[in-house]
Structure 1
Amino acid sequence: MKVLLLVFAIVAAVSAQTEPWCRCAAFVTYEYNEMMVYEAPQIIIDSCQDDAGQCKTACVTELNTLSNNGDLWLVQENGDTVGQSICSFLANYNINWIVNHRVYGYFEVCGGPWEYAEFASQQLLCCDAGEHDHCIVRE
């Protein structure tokens, strides 16, 4: 009986393990918090221990492809700009005004901490009543 329980425990432990994975997302950064505004589909990587570089590279490729290298004014297939998609997403959470915020890319390996992917939007993001708008930068 003990052997049978040991076999079941080993089978359960092996089946509970999943493939190593990576998350990739874009965030708007505020002074004291971050708001995820886009999450890419999960990326399969080779290892949870050694593949932060693989995850980061795949994440930057995904975000660059989605936005033409961080261009918030890129018009997507649905007719909205990348920035409008972000403004609409934020408006769903009653965040209707954003002034002069950059959008940054981050990645996460196998549930670890989010790390900066060295991706940033080309322009600052401004949303006026949920509508993507040109930013006026005052110095």
Structure 2
Amino acid sequence: MKVLLLVFALVAAVSAQTEPWCRCAAFVTYEFNEMMVYEAPQIIIDSCQDDAGQCRDACATELNTLSNNGDLWLMQENGVTVGQSICSSLADHHLNWIANHRVYGYFEVCGGPWEYAEFASQQLLCCDAGVHDHCIVRK
């Protein structure tokens, strides 16, 4: 009986680890690292092996919907621009000055590597003392 219970517990643990899930997030890319600036709610997918496309598409749709296709100047319902939300997130991590960085979307299937979700912001992101500002691109 104890062996049977142990087998059921083992099967339940393995099943819980293989349940399909997808993470979706927006990142600002630096030369040597990435900073996550937004994470969407977990996305339900059908399979960890076959659904990278499903995860990628759902992630891109989520990020495009939240930002009107990557518009950092979109005014959200809370009265704050998408860019200001990102600048505030970065300022919470003591990154108050950001100049000319694009925001990219990435997805992760069942704990695998982060992959590009075919999402990029329309504008470059600039934060001045934690405040979203227009970028001045020098040529």
TM-score > 0.5 by shorter chain = yes
Structure 1: how far apart are the matches of 2:101 and 2:91?
15
Shift of 1:36: 0.2
Q: Is 1:9 aligned to 2:25, yes or no? A: no
Structure 2: how far apart are the matches of 1:43 and 1:13?
26
* Equivalence for 2:67: 67
* Equivalence for 1:89: 89
1:3-42 equivalences under 5 Å are: 4-16=1-13, 17-18=15-16, 19-42=19-42
SS class of match (2:134): coil
Structure 2: how far apart are the matches of 1:50 and 1:73?
36
* Equivalence for 2:78: 78
Structure 2: how far apart are the matches of 1:117 and 1:137?
26
RMSD: 0.9
2:40 partner amino acid: A
1:43 partner amino acid: I
SS class of match (2:100): strand
Structure 1: how far apart are the matches of 2:56 and 2:46?
13
Deviations 1:31-89 (A, max 9, x none): 00000000000011100000000000110010000000000000000100000000001
Shift of 1:15: 2.3
Structure 1: how far apart are the matches of 2:71 and 2:7?
49
Q: What TM-score do the two structures reach when normalised by structure 2? A: 0.94
Structure 2: how far apart are the matches of 1:13 and 1:61?
37
The 4+ residue runs of structure 1 with deviation greater than 4 A are: none
Q: Which runs of 5+ in 2 are unaligned?
A: none
Q: Which runs of 5+ in 1 are unaligned?
A: none
* Equivalence for 2:57: 57
Shift of 1:135: 0.2
Shift of 1:9: 2.7
Structure 2: how far apart are the matches of 1:116 and 1:65?
17
Q: What TM-score do the two structures reach when normalised by structure 1? A: 0.94
Task: Calculate percent identity across the aligned residue pairs.
Answer: 81
Structure 1: how far apart are the matches of 2:122 and 2:90?
19
